[in-house]
Amino acid sequence: MSQLDILELRYCSVQKIDSIMYLINLKELSLEGNKNIDITPIQYLTQLIILNLNNCDIHNIDAINSLVNLEQLSLESNKIVYIQSLQSLNKLLNLNVYKNQIKDIQPIKKHINFNKFMLGNQSTPEHLEVVFANKMRDIQAPIYSLKKIKSQRIKILGQKQKLVDEIFYRFLALQYSQISFSTNIASIFEQLNSFETYQ
The residue ranking higher by pLDDT, 26 or 95, is 26
User: Domain 1-92: which topology?
Assistant: 3.80.10
Residues 43, 95, 56: CA angle, nearest 5 degrees = 60
Model pLDDT for residues 69-127, shown as the tens digit of each residue:
999 999 999 999 899 999 999 998 888 888 888 877 777 766 656 666 666 666 554 44
Model pTM score: 0.70
Do 165 and 184 form a contact (C-beta atoms < 8 A)? no
**Residue 120 pLDDT:** 62
What integer pLDDT is reported at residue 104 of this predicted model?
A: 73
Average pLDDT over residues 2-12: 93
Query: Is residue 150's pLDDT more than 60?
Result: no
Q: What is the pLDDT of residue 180?
A: 47
> Is it the case that residue 38 has pLDDT exceeding 50?
yes
What b/e sequence results for 61-88 when a residue is b if at least 16 CB atoms lie within 10 Å of its CB, and e otherwise?
Answer: bebbebbeebbbbbbbbbebbebebbee
CB within 8 Å of 166: residues ≥ 6 apart: 139
> What residue segments make up the domains of the chain, in order of their start?
1-92, 102-199
Residue (of 29, 55, 33, 56) closest to 43 by Cα position: 29
pLDDT of residue 108: 76
Question: What integer is the mean pLDDT of 116-141?
Answer: 52
Q: What is the mean pLDDT of residues 135-153?
A: 48
pLDDT at 123: 56
- pLDDT of 20 reads 96
